[in-house]
């Protein structure tokens, strides 16, 4: 029993000695009041520095306005009119008065073929026509080709019709065979044509006047076809002809392109067809001018939906600006800035070329008097839609109810009010009550 008590006493002494050594002998290992105060000060400074962070943001004002939904599709620019000029006759090119990109007006001579043989042919045809006309006049003046008895002719026609009616009835009753019927039909047609024919026409045919007129007209057309002229005003394209080159009838010589108006043929999916109407506004962009937008209008709608692609074809026409039409009639002196602006707009129009790939957006639905903000203002957090509104120098988030939208703006049904300043850039990492600074 005494030994146990001795062991306990020794253990207590050892523990006490360790505690004295730990706290008394190594005071540097214990946290001092100064170090604790320093840690608290550090935390306060960190909290203060975080609160002083200011985030630069861009903003927009929530407003009431109108916006349109758009159907987007693609197409290829084409000219209002484009035609291939084809050689009607063979011949050697005597002169070529065109080149690629040249603007020509309707009727301008583009290509001239050697016409010497055609002129000789026309003179020969004119001589033949004159001979036939003289012979025709001589024969029609004779008593033999005088006027016929109209009453007698009428009686003969009635008899001819009655006779053939009997033959036709017998044929239908299978009393005569096909060969006999065809022979009777041929005789009837010839006799009927003879009795009904004008005596002057008969004489014209017998004298060759009809054939002479045809030959003369053909020779005249061949001579006209030695000159290839512009069918309408436009630009010359695909022209590579030179004087001395031989062309054959049917050869494509060049193209004339009328770019006074440009069109885009598009295909609209079946689900959007019901929203389209002729006259709707459209907006076009082209790959070559990505920062420019051009106004257009729906000109035609194909009433049939393609069974294979389930799309409907439509045609969009690029519109001329009202300003351009006004500038044609005004007489006042323009300033340098206005002249530069006009040149720039004209240059942009001229850069639009048939064959360019275009993206077309058609306004299919319009929504008026809606509270709208830029689409960039909308965020989604925890599966809820919200926008940040600037209040003083703080960003406050507001959960919002979103309505209709297009590619640029969206409708806010509830959550903010007209005139609120919403953040549209720099808000992806913001927290509620974060300090912000509005920048342009």
Alpha-carbon dihedral angle through residues 70, 73, 75, 80, given to the nearest 10 degrees: -30
**Closest by CA position to 86, among listed 117, 49, 113, 58:** 113
pLDDT reported for residue 42: 45
User: 314-331 burial, b for 16+ CB within 10 Å, e for fewer?
Assistant: bbbbbbeeeeeeeeeeee
Residue 10 is predicted with a pLDDT of: 47
- At 329 the pLDDT is 34
Q: What is the pLDDT along the chain (440 residues), one digit of tens a residue?
A: 444 445 555 454 444 455 444 444 444 444 444 444 444 444 444 444 445 789 999 999 999 999 888 889 999 999 989 999 999 999 999 999 999 999 999 999 999 999 999 999 999 999 999 998 888 888 777 655 555 556 777 787 888 888 888 888 888 898 889 888 898 888 888 887 777 666 667 677 778 888 999 999 999 999 999 999 999 999 999 999 999 999 999 999 999 999 988 999 999 998 888 889 999 999 999 988 888 999 999 999 999 999 999 999 999 999 864 333 323 333 445 555 555 555 454 444 557 889 999 999 998 888 999 999 999 999 999 899 999 999 999 999 999 999 999 888 999 999 999 999 999 999 998 999 999 999 97
**Which residues lie closer than 8 Å to 398 by C-beta, 6 or more apart?**
386, 387, 388, 389, 415, 416
Q: Which is it for strands 91-96 and 252-269: parallel, antiparallel or unpaired?
A: unpaired
Angle at 66 between CA 64 and CA 71, to 5 degrees: 140
């Amino acid at each position: 029993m005494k030994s146990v008590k001795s062991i306990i006493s020794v253990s207590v002494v050892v523990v006490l000695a360790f505690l004295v050594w730990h706290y008394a002998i190594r005071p540097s290992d214990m946290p001092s009041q100064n170090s604790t105060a320093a840690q608290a000060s550090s935390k306060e400074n960190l909290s203060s520095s975080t609160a002083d962070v200011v985030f630069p943001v861009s903003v927009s004002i929530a407003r009431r306005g109108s916006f349109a939904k758009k159907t987007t599709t693609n197409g290829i620019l084409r000219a209002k009119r484009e035609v291939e000029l084809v050689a009607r006759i063979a011949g050697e090119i005597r002169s070529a008065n065109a080149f690629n990109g040249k603007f020509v007006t309707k009727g301008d001579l583009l290509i001239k073929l050697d016409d010497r043989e055609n002129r000789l042919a026309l003179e020969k045809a004119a001589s033949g026509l004159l001979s036939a006309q003289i012979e025709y006049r001589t024969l029609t003046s004779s008593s033999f080709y005088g006027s016929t008895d109209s009453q007698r002719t009428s009686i003969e026609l009635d008899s001819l019709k009655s006779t053939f009616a009997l033959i036709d009835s017998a044929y239908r009753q299978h009393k005569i065979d096909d060969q006999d019927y065809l022979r009777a039909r041929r005789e009837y047609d010839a006799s009927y044509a003879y009795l009904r024919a004008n005596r002057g026409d008969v004489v014209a045919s017998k004298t060759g006047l009809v054939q002479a007129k045809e030959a003369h007209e053909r020779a005249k057309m061949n001579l006209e076809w030695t000159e290839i002229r512009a069918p309408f005003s436009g630009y010359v394209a695909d022209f590579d002809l030179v004087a001395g080159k031989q062309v054959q009838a049917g050869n494509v010589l060049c193209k004339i392109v009328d770019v006074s108006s440009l069109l885009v043929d598009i295909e609209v999916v079946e689900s959007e067809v019901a929203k389209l109407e002729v006259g709707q506004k459209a907006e076009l962009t082209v790959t070559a001018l990505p920062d420019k937008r051009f106004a257009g209008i729906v000109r035609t709608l194909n009433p049939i939906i393609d069974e294979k692609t389930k799309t409907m074809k439509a045609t969009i026409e690029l519109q001329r600006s009202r300003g351009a039409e006004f500038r044609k009639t005004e007489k006042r002196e323009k300033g340098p800035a206005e002249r530069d602006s006009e040149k720039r707009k004209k240059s942009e129009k001229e850069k639009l070329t048939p064959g360019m790939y275009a993206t077309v957006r058609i306004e299919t639905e319009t929504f008026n008097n809606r509270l709208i903000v830029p689409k960039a203002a909308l965020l989604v957090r925890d599966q809820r839609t919200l926008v940040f509104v600037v209040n003083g120098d703080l960003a406050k988030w507001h959960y919002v109810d979103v309505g209709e939208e297009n590619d640029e703006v969206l409708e806010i049904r509830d959550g903010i009010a007209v005139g609120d300043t919403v953040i549209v850039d720099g808000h992806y990492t913001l927290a509620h009550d974060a300090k912000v600074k509005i920048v342009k």
